[in-house]
């Protein structure tokens, strides 16, 4: 006869609670329709289980228009979901299925495309200018898909400007957190030493604005004219010009020569070409895998 171990858990009879109020049953599950009825301001949501995104973002990625333009179209009642016009750009969807613009169904977003453009000086990086000044869209050749610029080059800066069909890729390339390097060549007038330029690897603060690491090297000097190459990862507004002017230099020409692994190379001014899809896919994979942060800079000797 087997004797149960004193350490073995025994099945004990259940004991009814004595006294007190009886335990209440679990509340019934609330239907999604009832939840929406109680929250009239809650954005329209698609079925759970898939990633939801704002409709303005989805439409921008599909190449319909910019997010700002899409918000205007929504306010005008031109965008509908399953036949019902929406009134907020905060509408959340998992896809563009059932979405129409001006009564026409919207196709799913095509794969992202990336183009190189050699921006000449004298053109604004914007779609329209209230003052009527020329923009990059006046210079781009016809027949291209709807493109948005990655970052900006000011009117007098020339060189490589990346253009893309995909707002998500644009943001990936622009965010300082992704660490995508931008390289420039600047022609400047004034006195500067290589030692002074090497100090920029520590970053610099100008008028209360902190600029991160800049790898700067003097390429050549002719009298008081110098050519300087600078690589940075933040790309703040007019960063290169402001840093060099802070060092006492007058910038007479500024050219962006590379953005990440994409060089300007010998692309003629005003010309545009498309980055190979294979190269774009490999680059995006490298972004998803993350980049190791550079070691903490030490003060140069």
**Active site residue: 138, 154, 273, 279, which one?**
154
Question: What strands lie across the sheet with 104-105, from one edge to the other?
Answer: 84-85, 79-81, 99-101, 104-105
d(CA 89, CA 294): 39
- Tokens, residue 216: 């700067």
At 45 the three-state DSSP class reads coil
Active site residue 154: yes
- The answer to whether 142 and 221 have CB atoms below 8 angstroms apart is no
CA 136-137-138 angle, 5° bins: 90
CB half-sphere exposure, 104, CA atoms < 13 A: 5
Beta strands in the chain (DSSP E): 53-54, 79-81, 84-85, 92-93, 99-101, 104-105, 114-119, 148-149, 158-164, 182-189, 204-206, 209-211, 214-222, 225-232, 250-259, 262-263, 272-274
Catalytic residues: 154
């Amino acid at each position: 006869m087997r004797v149960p171990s004193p350490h073995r858990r025994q099945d004990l009879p259940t004991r009814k609670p004595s006294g007190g109020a009886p335990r209440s049953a679990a509340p019934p599950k609330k239907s999604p329709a009832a939840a929406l009825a109680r929250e009239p301001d809650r954005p329209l949501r698609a079925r759970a289980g898939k990633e939801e995104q704002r409709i303005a973002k989805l439409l921008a990625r599909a190449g319909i228009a910019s997010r700002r333009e899409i918000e205007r179209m929504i306010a005008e009642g031109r965008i509908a979901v399953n036949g019902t016009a929406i009134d907020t750009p905060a509408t959340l969807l998992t896809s563009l299925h059932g979405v129409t613009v001006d009564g026409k169904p919207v196709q799913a977003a095509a794969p992202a495309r990336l183009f190189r453009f050699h921006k000449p000086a004298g053109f604004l990086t914007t779609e329209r200018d209230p003052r009527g000044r020329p923009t990059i869209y006046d210079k781009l050749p016809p027949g291209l898909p709807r493109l948005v610029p990655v970052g900006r080059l000011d009117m007098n800066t020339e060189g490589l400007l990346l253009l893309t069909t995909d707002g998500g890729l644009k943001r990936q390339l622009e965010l300082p957190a992704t660490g995508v390097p931008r390289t420039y060549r600047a022609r400047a007038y004034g006195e500067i030493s290589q030692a002074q330029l090497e100090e920029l690897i520590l970053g610099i603060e100008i008028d209360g604005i902190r600029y991160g690491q800049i790898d700067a090297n003097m390429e050549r000097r002719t009298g008081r004219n110098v050519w300087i190459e600078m690589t940075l990862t933040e790309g703040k507004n007019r960063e290169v010009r402001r840093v060099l002017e802070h060092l006492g230099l007058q910038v007479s020409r500024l050219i962006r020569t590379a953005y990440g692994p994409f060089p300007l190379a010998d692309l003629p001014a005003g010309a545009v070409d498309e980055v190979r899809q294979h190269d774009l896919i490999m680059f995006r994979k490298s972004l998803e895998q993350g980049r190791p942060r550079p070691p903490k800079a030490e003060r140069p000797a």
